[in-house]
A and B are shown apart, each in its own frame.
Chain A
Amino acid sequence: MSEDKPVALRLEIVARWGKARATLLHLPHAICETPMFMPVGTQGTIKGLTSEQVEDVHCNLILGNTYHLGHRPGPEVMKELGGLHQLMNWKRNLLTDSGGFQMVSLLQLANITEQGVVFRSPHDGSEMVLTPEMSMQIQNCIGADIMMALDDVVSTVTTGPRVEEAMHRTLRWIDRCVEAHKRPHEQNLFGIVQGGLDMDLRSQCLKGLVERDLPGYAIGGLSGGESKHHFWRVVDKCAAELPENKPRYLMGVGYSLDLLVCSCLGVDMFDCVYPSRTARFGVALVKTGTLILKHREFSKDFRPLDDECQCMACRNYTRAYLHSLVVQKEQLAGQLLTAHNLTYQMDLMRGIRNSIIEGNLDRFAQKFIDLQFPNGDCPSWARDALKSAGIDIQ
């Protein structure tokens, strides 16, 4: 590794179990324990929670969204206010995406050219371009501890030359990103491995990114409707080929089974809106799966969501109370369930981490599967993936 490359992070591997690893990721605002889940605070807030409550779920890194924050309050205001940490009074780490994904997912008129992502402004209909340079400029204003390179995202169900084109473009854009990034001593720029479901393209992209010696790498373009059998094989391959001494981030993954499997395959970081979004729909995540609190069966259920959970909702309220909030469509229901679901995710990740350190990840995985799939109906892809990670599910 060249010593002169500016980085703002350090990765310390604490323990390994098979392909999985437990690390300490030293970032500018806090040390993170991995494998970790990172809640999504799209517009500078985790929906409904105060910063203090997010700290209470023992969360050291949350996501902000460049597309949304670039629109409101906008880079100028953000810069003037001293960045997103300042604006939202968040003392721990932040990560921002490139803004490209929303252009593709939210906007029908997005078109990708060599220059950047061309899209029609949803506000005034004018044509705008998000270039790698602009993405960097906005992310530099936001000031997150980790920022993501602008990549050319194609849907995983796309096949043919478009996938290859996207992969090559992603590599060309990474150089423009590195060039445009003004704060490499404070902010870590991660590259994103693309290449769809094609293992050769993934390999090529990965090699190209690794040659650029970036502070960390993400596996992108997944969880877009592809089959889970393809999904885990791509994750497995990328995790195996990414350098040991750099953090590995799997983008957009947040179902608990996926978190377990991909941690076993050697991924360090995950993000997803699932736990907080599902909370707002009145769904609680528990060890045995989910509780849909609007169901009448909970109206007279006076137990907490989870006996062992230490979150604000479980310590203070019954399922019956939460049921009454959910059916009356109280905002408070979303607040309490978000706090619970995030605590659940954090506890799950801590459990995975501890079992890596204690050397019993296989037993942890077995127990997790037994609780989530009591009828032995664990999906075959998960069995295959865990088997490749050295864990035989009974």
Chain B
Amino acid sequence: MPMRKVEWTPSVTEGEARTGCLSIVRVDEQGNHIDRIKKIDTPCFFLGSRAGAPPNFTVDIWNEFKKKCNAVQIEAETISQFGRGIHDFIAVGEKQNNFRPRGKPEATGEERLTETAIYLSFRDPLNYNSICNVDGLAVSNDAFSFVVRQRGKMKLTTHQGVKLLKDLDGDLIESISMDVPYHVTSKKMRRSVDVSIHILDKILESNTGNVLGVIQGGSDERSRTVSAKETAKRNVCGFVLGSFGLGEDLSQQSQMIRWILPHIPAEKVRFIPGIGTPLQILEAVSLGCDVFNSDYPHLIGEYGQAIIFSTDASVDRPYKINLRDRKFQLDQEPILKGCTCYGCQNHTRAYVCHLLATHEMLANVLLSVHNCWHYLEFFREMRESIGRGGFNRFKETFLERYYSKAEE
């Protein structure tokens, strides 16, 4: 039975910032390469999902996004019983014939590479306040509990957790670990490292190829260093910088990243979930992070706002607009002129303003679509800037324009 393996190949670096390509390949039991099934350019953003789809995204909208973004969370037990893996269950990626969307032929060749890859995490990708809770764990007795379900905690043994990950059959698997907020005791930080390494070893015993090790240790330099070094010794396909976006400020964020990165090999992918504003992302990219995930673009939409910032120095545009503002009720322009998202191609600011005023569901749909699309565009532009050696200027221009005044 072929297994998934994750590879990352670097292409251009500018300072510490780097572009590369994340590939999901299939290998046989001896580890021989069979074929490449997915390809994702980095730096990139994984859209978070709730209950198996990004909020408000139906399958047709999701299809539109495939070329831009790849990646998606769901109640694990059910999928285990479904028996055909998560891709089929949530209708993403390698679907069965009878579940293909209308008029869409089976993906072949290059096209398959743009099918959505699924990243399995134990932390809610759209609610970073709820952290993976491994409290109550005694490392020796092999039992741990954490928040997986919206209906509460579920107790799993390591063995069950490992089986779950296997049944889900995701493309990338984040090892189960213990997240800690920025301000906790250093004893707790050290514990988070021990627990996370312990579980990682258990997972690696039975699963190979596509497991990312999570580096914990909170805001304690020594713990972070130990965690990074220990994780780097193991056979992981990449690294997750854990416990970010949990109360640290920008300089503390950078500090923690700087503690970690020197101790992990450069040739593997670095995922930093939990940080999401363009400012935080530009900072993390400049330090060498590759993959991001946060609730930021969805959250902006929930406030009735659309992000329209421009990374082009010659274009003068505000960072975002508040479409609840009645000044837009006669505005027949799309949310952002020239934007190719479904909302901008089909609807006007006046309509979104009306939908918000009347509390209609479609407002959330159109705003989520636009904000995610625009955000993914920002990542594309960022990759291009690194590609042509202009990332520093890209970053400076952006900070100058949008962060010099107290604008967001």
Contact = CB atoms under 8 A, between A and B. Distances in A.
B75 A72 contact: no
Interface string A54-87: 0010000000000010001100010011000001
Contact of B351 (A88, A328, A339): A88
A89 interface: yes
Contact of A312 (B50, B55, B101): B101
A68 B358 contact: yes
Given A50-B342, A72-B357, A324-B74, A332 B60 contact: no
B234 interface: no
B56 A310 contact: no
B51 interface: yes
B355 A45 contact: yes
Q: Which of B74, B75, B81, B342 has the most CB of A within 10 A?
A: B75
B102 A315 contact: yes
Contact of A87 (B52, B75, B100, B351): B351
Contacts of B342: 50, 52
A332 B58 CA distance: 7
B95 to A, nearest CB: 8
B332 A81 contact: yes
Contacts of B95: 316
A320 interface: yes
A318 interface: yes
Contacts of A48: 361-362, 365
Nearest to B62: A316
A contact residues, range: 35 or more
Contacts of B365: 48, 50, 335
Contact of A330 (B50, B91, B101, B329): B50
Contact of A49 (B53, B350, B362): B362
A171 B114 CA distance: 63
B56 A335 contact: yes
A330 B57 CA distance: 11
B347 to A, nearest CB: 6
B303 interface: no
Contact of B58 (A51, A53, A72, A302): A53
Contact of B82 (A50, A52, A312, A320): A320
A310 B102 contact: yes
B350 A316 contact: no
B354 interface: yes
B90 interface: yes
Given A318-B82, A328-B50, A87 B354 contact: yes
Nearest to B60: A312
B78 A324 contact: yes
A373 to B, nearest CB: 30
A321 B79 CA distance: 9
A274 B175 CA distance: 46
Q: Which of B56, B347, B360 has the most CB of A within 10 A?
A: B360
B364 interface: yes
B30 interface: no
A347 to B, nearest CB: 14
A46 to B, nearest CB: 8
Interface string B44-79: 000000111101111111000000000000110010
A300 interface: yes
B58 A52 contact: no
B348 to A, nearest CB: 8
B319 interface: no
A299 B95 CA distance: 20
A220 interface: no
A130 B221 CA distance: 71
A187 to B, nearest CB: 21
Contacts of A49: 362
Contacts of B60: 52-53, 56, 312
Contacts of B102: 310, 312, 315
B172 to A, nearest CB: 21
Given A52-B346, A331-B55, A339-B58, A81 B82 contact: no
Interface in A137-156: none
Interface in A304-338: 304, 310, 312, 315-318, 320-321, 324-325, 328, 330-332, 334-336
Contacts of A320: 78, 82, 89
A191 interface: no
A321 B354 contact: no
A299 B57 CA distance: 21
A317 B91 contact: yes
A221 interface: no
Interface string B288-314: 000000000000000000000000000
B361 A77 contact: no
30 contacts: A43-B358, A43-B360, A44-B351, A44-B358, A49-B362, A50-B362, A68-B358, A80-B330, A89-B347, A89-B351, A300-B78, A312-B58, A312-B59, A315-B99, A316-B59, A316-B101, A317-B90, A318-B89, A321-B89, A324-B74, A325-B51, A330-B50, A331-B55, A331-B56, A332-B51, A332-B53, A335-B58, A335-B361, A335-B365, A339-B58
5 nearest A-B residue pairs (beta carbon): A316-B91, A48-B361, A43-B358, A45-B362, A316-B59
Interface of B: 50-53, 55-61, 74-75, 78, 81-82, 89-91, 95, 99-102, 150, 329-330, 332, 342, 346-348, 350-351, 354-355, 357-358, 360-362, 364-366
